[in-house]
């Protein structure tokens, strides 16, 4: 009788423990989804200025933003992934001057739960948004760039990617890009980046092809690769947002100019 009672109490304790653990998992899952679904949003001022710019056209679809030139398109396109918990519209303003200067078309997809790690193959679907594009680049900011690099390196793509555009980002060794001689790569960093410090980007430089173009914009921080306001953990920039976006646009336009 004593053994049966002990076993019964043990089963009750285990059942109670599993119930508590399940509840904690559910609560953590709900908290994570709530966190992911509360992204940094595009600042209205820069977004409004781009919509008033006669050199570019901004089209907002159900799950994608397309920034295209009103003049002659170059035939080059970029699919660009947002940083973690940043909405796609926040990259319209930094990309608009590149589009105006070069004629490239930029596709900014909405990502599942605003996280590229859950949607790294999204680019394969959204290239259809710009049928006039003949040459495609994939890119992203921060986590978005890391998973763009991972996707290109995986090799199971349906799109032939010409190269990568990384803003405040990096490639991990598992992306297997270091020996690629068929990929054009641009990596832009800011020396005031407190979220992804310059030292970390430099440490991961060997994971990119040997001929990758790497540029550091002095005075630029992490959030200035987008237009969504300040970001926790970032350093104070010494450039204004307008100055940072101009420097970023010049570097990126030089790289993409046909």
Residue pLDDT, tens place only, 218-248: 999 999 999 999 999 999 999 999 999 999 9
Task: Read off the DSSP letter of residue 82.
Answer: P
Evaluate whether 111 touches 147 at the Cβ level (below 8 Å).
Answer: no
Q: What is the pTM of this model?
A: 0.86
- pLDDT of 8 reads 60
Model confidence band, residue 27 (pLDDT cutoffs 50, 70, 90): very low
Q: Taking all residues of the chain, what is their mean pLDDT, rounded to a whole number?
A: 89
- pLDDT of 162 reads 97
Has residue 26 got a pLDDT over 50? no
Sign of CA dihedral 204, 90, 51, 159: positive
> Looking at residues 90-107, what average pLDDT do you find?
98
202 three-state secondary structure: helix
28-37 confidence digits (pLDDT tens): 333 334 434 5
> Looking at residues 83-88, what average pLDDT do you find?
97
- pLDDT of 220 reads 98
Model confidence band, residue 39 (pLDDT cutoffs 50, 70, 90): confident
- pLDDT of 209 reads 98
CA distances from 19 to 7, 24, 201 (A): 18, 9, 43
For 22-31, letters b (16+ CB in 10 Å) and e give eeeeeeeeee
- pLDDT of 3 reads 63
> Looking at residues 203-232, what average pLDDT do you find?
98
Evaluate whether 78 touches 165 at the Cβ level (below 8 Å).
Answer: yes
| The token pair that represents 88 in the structure block | 């796609």
Has residue 101 got a pLDDT over 70? yes
- What Rg do the C-alpha atoms of the chain give, in angstroms? 22
Q: Are strands 56-60 and 64-69 parallel, antiparallel or unpaired?
A: antiparallel
- pLDDT of 33 reads 41
Neighbours of 219 (CB within 10 A): 16
Has residue 41 got a pLDDT over 80? yes
Q: Quickly list DSSP for 224-245.
A: GGSSS---TTPPPPSS-HHHHH
More confident residue, 153 or 33: 153
């Amino acid at each position: 009788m004593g053994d049966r009672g002990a076993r019964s109490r043990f089963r009750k304790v285990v059942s109670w423990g599993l119930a508590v653990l399940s509840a904690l998992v559910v609560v953590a899952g709900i908290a994570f989804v709530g966190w992911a679904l509360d992204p940094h949003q595009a600042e209205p001022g820069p977004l409004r200025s781009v919509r008033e710019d006669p050199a570019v056209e901004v089209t907002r679809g159900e799950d994608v933003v397309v920034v295209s030139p009103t003049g002659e398109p170059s035939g080059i396109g970029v699919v660009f992934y947002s940083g973690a918990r940043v909405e796609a519209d926040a990259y319209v303003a930094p990309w608009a001057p590149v589009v105006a200067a070069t004629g490239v078309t930029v596709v900014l997809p909405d990502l599942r739960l605003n996280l590229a790690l859950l949607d790294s193959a999204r680019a394969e679907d959204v290239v259809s948004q710009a049928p006039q594009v003949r040459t495609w680049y994939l890119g992203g900011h921060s986590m978005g760039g890391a998973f763009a690099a991972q996707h290109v390196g995986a090799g199971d793509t349906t799109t032939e990617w010409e190269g990568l555009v990384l803003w405040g980002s990096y490639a991990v060794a598992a992306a297997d890009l270091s020996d690629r001689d068929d990929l054009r790569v641009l990596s832009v960093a800011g020396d005031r980046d407190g979220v992804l410090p310059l030292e970390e980007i430099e440490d991961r430089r060997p994971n990119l092809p040997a001929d990758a173009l790497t540029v550091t914009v002095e005075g630029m921080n992490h959030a200035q690769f987008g237009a969504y306001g300040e970001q926790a953990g970032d350093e104070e920039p010494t450039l204004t947002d307008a100055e940072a976006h101009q420097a970023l646009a010049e570097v990126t336009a030089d790289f993409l100019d046909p």
